[in-house]
Amino acid sequence: MRKENTRNLIDIRDLSTKEIDDLIKVANDIILHKEAYAHKCDGKILATLFFEPSTRTRLSFESAMLRLGGKVLGFSEAASSSTAKGETLADTIETVSGYADIIAMRHPKEGAPIVAAKKSFIPIINAGDGGHNHPTQTLTDLLTISRKKGRLENLTIGLCGDLKFGRTIHSLISAMVRYKNIKFILISPKELRLPEYMIKEVLDKNKIEYIETDNMEKYMKDLDILYMTRVQKERFFNEEDYMRLKDYYILDKKKLSTAKEDLCIMHPLPRVNEIATEVDEDERATYFEQAYNGVYIRMALILKCLEGRK
Ligand code: NCD
């Protein structure tokens, strides 16, 4: 039980810029030399505890551990775990700590991974907590941006859709503010604007330039990256509001007519309606590549969190 030196990833700010750079370097190396990493985690077990739905995050974590030679166990919905019988998260975590070497968990409650980390004797990776954070999606995004653009500095980034509940947005902003000359265009209906705490505590505090608008077309020509997001249905209090806002932005070929030739169109996925499928054939569409990159950066992260542990 070596709790003192357990390395968790709860918030993207848990990682220094140097550590992020190193993770990107390792992920790039894995992409080039997959076979060299095939036994790095022999004998290790990853537990994926998903109390909320997921395709990419859970499967890419599992794929990452399997590709490192390790094994995986876990559950993909709260209903199939003892949570359904009333077990607390703390008790579940305490138990799983004894069954695995590292845990990736997703939970609908903001802050749940902090509770988990207090109980756990093995590293906890936050794979999404409510409408709060999603640091491993951000690592995937940073790897993708650095591979496509060759830099993480000097970028005008359009973030579009549900900026209020979109945890991928919150983590991505929290990561990008550390790089030089980053400007955000925050594109959303007024009901789904970026939360005040993100504006004050993250953007203003870091003196980051940003524009809030509901007009995607107006700023299209300025963007280096357009990061689309789904309206987060599961976080709405009423169906009516969701129905009214869900198709507010639908990116199509026509709306891209003024965009830069090297625009990078990203989306954490799943997509509902916010990007027309006709955009998929556009060379600037990067979202599936982004999903593939998720495996390699998670491999790098698992290696980092398990470093030096018996
Ligand atoms: C995102 C999430 O779960 O926050 N998905 C993902 O992990 N790739 C985005 C979303 O669900 O809209």
127 and 238 in a single domain? The answer is: no
Using most ligand atoms within 8 A of CB, pick from 57, 107, 110, 133 the residue to mutate for ligand 1: 57
98 and 139 in a single domain? The answer is: no
Whole-number pLDDT of residue 1: 52
Atom number, ligand 1, closest to the C-alpha of residue 230 = 12
On whether residue 127 sits in a domain, the answer given is yes
Q: How confident is the model at residue 269 (pLDDT cuts 50, 70, 90)?
A: very high
On whether residue 187 sits in a domain, the answer given is yes
The predicted-structure confidence for 210-223, as pLDDT tens digits, reads as follows 999 999 999 999 99
Whole-number pLDDT of residue 262: 98
Q: Distances in Å between the alpha carbon of 192 and those of 132, 169, 187, 215, 246?
A: 14, 12, 9, 13, 11
Q: Name the nearest CA neighbour of 127 among 46, 202, 68, 230.
A: 46
- Render 157-209 in DSSP notation, one character per residue: EEEES-TTT-HHHHHHHHHHTTSTTEEEEEE--GGGPPPHHHIIIIIITTT-E
Using the mean position of ligand 1's atoms as its centre, give its distance from the Cα of residue 2 in Å: 32
19 and 37 in a single domain? The answer is: yes
Whole-number pLDDT of residue 237: 86
Q: Distances in Å between the alpha carbon of 122 and those of 30, 75, 269?
A: 24, 18, 29
* Ligand 1 within 6 A of CB of 168: yes
On whether residue 7 sits in a domain, the answer given is no
Pick the residue with more confidence: 78 or 2?
A: 78
Q: How confident is the model at residue 4 (pLDDT cuts 50, 70, 90)?
A: low
Using the mean position of ligand 1's atoms as its centre, give its distance from the Cα of residue 55 in Å: 9
Question: Which positions ≥6 away from 11 have C-beta within 8 Å?
Answer: 126, 133, 135, 171, 174
Q: Which amino acid is at 111?
A: G
176 and 287 in a single domain? The answer is: yes
Position of tokens 């169109």? 265
On whether residue 5 sits in a domain, the answer given is no
On whether residue 1 sits in a domain, the answer given is no
56 and 177 in a single domain? The answer is: no
Q: How confident is the model at residue 310 (pLDDT cuts 50, 70, 90)?
A: confident
159 and 253 in a single domain? The answer is: yes
Q: Name the nearest CA neighbour of 140 among 17, 280, 281, 27.
A: 27
On whether residue 235 sits in a domain, the answer given is yes
Q: How confident is the model at residue 263 (pLDDT cuts 50, 70, 90)?
A: very high
Say what percent of the chain tops pLDDT 70. 98
Shortest-distance Cα residue to atom 11 of ligand 1: 270
Token pair of 138, please?
Answer: 């951000």
* Ligand 1 within 6 A of CB of 230: yes
74 and 102 in a single domain? The answer is: yes
Q: Name the nearest CA neighbour of 135 among 196, 193, 31, 57.
A: 57
Whole-number pLDDT of residue 184: 98
Whole-number pLDDT of residue 142: 98
Whole-number pLDDT of residue 209: 98
Say what percent of the chain tops pLDDT 90. 96
CA atoms within 13 A on the CB side of 97: 20
Q: Say how many Å lie between the first and final Cα of the chain, rounded.
A: 10
Bond from prior residue into 195 cis (ω within 30 degrees of 0)? no
Which domain covers residue 53, as residue numbers? 12-132+294-306
166 and 26 in a single domain? The answer is: no
Token pair of 86, please?
Answer: 């009333």
The predicted-structure confidence for 28-64, as pLDDT tens digits, reads as follows 999 999 999 999 999 999 999 999 999 999 999 999 9
Average pLDDT, the chain: 96
CATH of the domain at 151: 3.40.50.1370
**H helix intervals, 12-158:** 17-32, 56-67, 89-96, 112-119, 135-149
The predicted-structure confidence for 162-208, as pLDDT tens digits, reads as follows 999 999 999 999 999 999 999 999 999 999 999 999 999 999 999 99
User: What is the domain count for the chain?
Assistant: 2
Q: Please state, in angstroms and rounded to a whole number, the distance separating the CA atoms of residues 43 and 37.
A: 14
95 and 158 in a single domain? The answer is: no
115 and 152 in a single domain? The answer is: no
**127 pLDDT above the threshold of 90:** yes
143 and 209 in a single domain? The answer is: yes
127 and 141 in a single domain? The answer is: no
Q: How confident is the model at residue 294 (pLDDT cuts 50, 70, 90)?
A: very high
**241 pLDDT above the threshold of 60:** yes
On whether residue 4 sits in a domain, the answer given is no
Shortest-distance Cα residue to atom 12 of ligand 1: 230
**2 pLDDT above the threshold of 70:** no
